[in-house]
Amino acid sequence: MSENLSKDAFLGGKLHLLQPKSGYRAGVDPVLLAATVDARAGDRVLDLGCGVGAAALCLGARVPGLVLTGVERQPVYADLARRNGGAAFEVVTADIADLPLHIRERQFDHVLANPPYYKRSDSRAARDLTREAALGEETPLADWIKTAAKRLAPKGHAHFIHRVERLPEILTEMGKRLGSIEVLPLSPRAGRMPELVIVRGRKNGRGAFKLHAPLVLHEGQRHEKDGDSYVPVVKAVLRDGAALTF
C-alpha cells in the first residue's frame, strides 16, 4: 500500500476503503445516506460524485446483489473507488454535468449524491485541491438534482445529503422534477439545531411532502469524554451496517 493511503474500516469492519491520508476523506455522512436507501437485490444504483465509493459500497455491503455504478470526476478518487469495489462496482471518471453516453442511456432505481456542501461565494476554499473539489461547489446544486432526476427510472428514488441551509434550494429544484419528497433532519445532539438533512424524492411520485422528526446523532447535551457517543440507532448503522428507516 502506498504511504499516502490508509485502509479504513467502515460498518464495524464489514467494509474497508482505501483513502488518501490527506485531502478529502469519507466520514459518516455517506454512511448515513446509504443506510436510508430502501434497495433490493437486483436494483440499479448510481452514486454521483462517488469519491472512494463510500456510499455505494456501504449500501452494497448491506444489500447484496445490487448493480452499482459510480461517477467521480477526480481520477485519483475514481481509481480508488475501483480498487475498493472491484468487479462489483463500475466507476466512470466524468463530471456529473457531462456524463458519457453509456450512462445517459441507462436508468437507475436509486441515485445517491453527497454533493459539495459549500458555495464559495460566501466561504473560504480549502488549501488542498482534492479536498476543495469535494467540498467547494463548482457544479450548481440544481444541476446535481437535474442529473439525478434524469437518470432515474419511473418510480425510482433520488437520495441527497446536504447542509440544512441548502434545503430551500433542494426542495425548489426537486419539486420541479420529483414528487413524494421527504426530509430527515440530522441534529448533533438533543436540543441542537439540525446541521444536515437527508432528502429523498421519487420520480413520478404523488405522495404528500413529509418532514420527519430530527434524528439525534449523539447522546447527552455536550461532548464530555473521548470516544464516540452515538445514540444506539446511529451506532447500529455505523458499526453494524444496519438500515436507517425514515
pLDDT score, position 162: 98
Strands 196-202 and 179-187: antiparallel
* Integer Cα distance of 58 and 10 in angstroms: 8
DSSP letter, residue 128: S
pLDDT score, position 220: 75
pLDDT score, position 228: 75
C-alpha cell at 147: 442529473
Question: Is residue 44 within 8 Å of residue 69, measured between CB atoms?
Answer: yes
Name residue, grid cell 467502515. 10
Residue whose C-alpha is closest to residue 67's, from 49, 87, 84, 37 = 87
* Integer Cα distance of 6 and 14 in angstroms: 16
pLDDT score, position 242: 98
* Integer Cα distance of 25 and 225 in angstroms: 24
pLDDT score, position 1: 57
C-alpha cell at 170: 433542494
Q: What structural domains and CATH numbers belong to the chain? A: 24-240 (3.40.50.150)
- Low-confidence spans in the chain with pLDDT less than 70: 1-2, 118-137, 221-227
Question: Is residue 24 within 8 Å of residue 131, measured between CB atoms?
Answer: yes
